[in-house]
Every structure is written in structure tokens, then in C-alpha cells.
Amino acid sequence: MGTYLVRRSFLMILTLFGISVVIFTLLRVVPGNVVDILFDAAGFIDEAEKVQIEKDLGLDQPIYVQYGNWIGGLAQGDLGFSYVSEKPAIEEIAPRIPVTGKLALLALIFSVIIGVPLGVISAVRQNSTMDYLFRLISLSGLSFPSFWLGLLTLMLFVSTTGDLPIYDAASDSFWDALLMYSVPAAIVGFRSSALIMRLTRSSMLEVMRQDYIRTARAKGASRNSVNYRHALRNALLPVVTIVGIEAAFLIGGLIVTETVFNIPGIARFLVEAIQWRDYPIVQNLVMFAAVIVVVVNFIVDMLYAVLDPRIRYGD
């Protein structure tokens, strides 16, 4: 296990290094920078002033020097300053992380508590009316865009309650905050739950055809014991994989949802930073998302050994 952890840690660091190089390079390959955008927006034409601003921001330095400065700052906990607001990047990013984190966590919880049980029931009652109904629901979840469901939900709230379940930073009530997060989380989680439901069903059906399941039934094991103790545990491996992928996706994949419900999260902020070529904000947000993805994948690999005793990460 020790050798595996060392090797895996090295691969994680190497992956993050590659991502940092790619995002840093791509941002500077794209035509135009923040100085060009600011000058175009303000109508400035003084080239000397433009050159001075580029020098002040360090954009006149070679790209490898800029990269070294950024990585060196990250190593010391310095994320730099936003080019647009001129505030420390950590002050711009930190308040938005809990907002997106709460939304992503609620969406993931919703998708798991809905997707896994319905997938199991659909598999256990294969080709029944309930199975067809759940398959129809899962197909709808995969077909309906989240932004379209979000807009329909907003229209429904307006027509029934006369209010909008959008984010309000001034709200101090726990229930109001729960409502603000639960509605968009359920909309985002509906798609994920549909995917988890279909995967759980197919995985359960495959496991239930195995010889040891028939042996358990022949020995007189109860239906619940066979379905949940024997079949479900072995069917969870691919489900855990897709849950991990969805968890990583939700961190950076909430752009449209955050925009529709006016939620000031990191996904929406990332799009705004890209539009303004705010390099420090974009670089740090992408690296944050990359760290989340790498860590989630590592956790999923560790869960494999917990769920399946046959899996061992030996030296």
C-alpha cells in the first residue's frame, strides 16, 4: 500500500503540473489580453499608457518567467491579484467556494438518494410497469437540459407563489437558504440521478445473473438479503465511479445553473474571468477544479478496496 500511495501521489502531482502548464499557455495563446479589453472598453488609444500597464501587470515578461512567478506564488500561498478588481485573488475566490460547494453537495446527495434506490428497484422488478416508468424518468433526466428545467421551475414558482427561488445573500433564515440551494440542486441532480439510476440498474442486472446469486437463492437466502447484501454491494463499483465523476463535474459544471438562479459561485465567476482575461482568477480556479477532480478520483480508487475485498493495492 505504501508504494502505491507514493506512486499515486507522484502521478497526481504530475497531472496537476501538466494542467497548470496547459491552462497557463492557452490563456496567453488566445488573441488579446486584459489590457486590450480594458482599452477597447474605455476607448483609450494611448499606446504608451498601454505598454506601461502591461509592464505593471508583468505581461511584458517572457511566458516562462510569468509561469515561474505564478507557481512560486502558489507554493507560498500567494494567488496573486485580480487584474479587474485589483483585489487579492484569494479574497475574490474564497467567498464563492462554499456557495458552489453547498450547491454541488446537495445536488450529489439528491442524485444518489434518488438514483441508486430507483435503479435497484428497476432491476429487481425488471420489465414490470414500475421498471418502464423509472426508465422513462431516467431517459427524461438525460434528455432535458438543466437550464431549460431551471427556467420552467422559475416560471412555476412565479405562477404559484409569486416569488423567485433565486440566491439572496441577505437571507439569514436557514429554511430560506435551504430553499434557495435545494431548488437548483434538485434540477442539476435530476440529470445525475438519471445517469446513476440507469447505471445502477444495468450493473444490478449483470450481477444478479452471476452464479453466486443463484447459489444464495438456492440456499434459501431471503430476497432482501440476496438483492441488497450480495447483489447491490458488488454492483456498486461502477456506480461509485460515476458518482465520483459527477462530483468532480459538479464543481465546474454549474455555469448555466448559477447564472439562471443568480448564484455567485465559482463556475459563474470563472466565465466572467475568462471574458475579461483575468489570468490570476482563471488560472487559480482551473487549478482548484483540477485538484478536486484528482482528489475525488483518488478517493474513488480507495473506495474500491473497501467495497470489494478482492481489490488490494499492494507493494
Question: In this predicted model, what pLDDT tens digit does every residue of 84-122 receive, in sequence order?
Answer: 787 888 888 888 888 888 888 888 898 899 999 999 888
Residue 235: per-residue pLDDT: 83
Which option is the CATH number for 96-307: 1.10.3720.10, 2.60.40.1530, 3.30.160.100, 3.10.129.10? 1.10.3720.10
pTM beyond cutoff 0.85: no
Task: Show me where the domains of the chain are located.
Answer: 19-78, 96-307
What pLDDT, on a 0 to 100 scale, did the predictor assign at position 169? 62
User: Could you give the CA distance from residue 152 to residue 72 in angstroms, rounded to a whole number?
Assistant: 47
> What pLDDT band is residue 182 in, cutting at 50, 70 and 90?
confident
Percent of the chain residues topping a pLDDT of 70:
85
Residue 30 three-state SS: coil
Contact 195, 115 (CB under 8 A): yes
Over the Cα atoms of the chain, what is R_g?
24
pLDDT tens for 128-152 read 888 899 888 888 888 887 777 877 8
Q: Are 138 and 194 in contact (CB under 8 A)?
A: yes
When pLDDT is cut at 50, 70 and 90, the band that residue 223 belongs to is confident
Collapsed DSSP state (helix, strand, coil) of residue 82: coil
Q: How far apart are CA 308 and CA 194, in angstroms?
A: 25
In this structure, are residues 242 and 300 in contact, taking their beta carbons and an 8 Å threshold?
A: no
**Contact indicator for 119, 194 with CB cutoff of 8 Å:** no
Q: What nine digits make up the cell of 294? A: 484528482
| Segment among 42-46, 55-59, 294-298 with least mean pLDDT | 42-46
Pairwise CA distance, residues 99 & 169, whole Å: 10
Q: Are 115 and 202 in contact (CB under 8 A)?
A: no
DSSP string across 101-165? HHHHHHHHHHHHHHHHHHHHHHHHTTTSHHHHHHHHHHHHHHHS-HHHHHHHHHHHHHHHHS---
Distance CA 233, CA 116 (A): 12
Q: How far apart are CA 207 and CA 140, in angstroms?
A: 26
Residue-level pLDDT at 252:
62
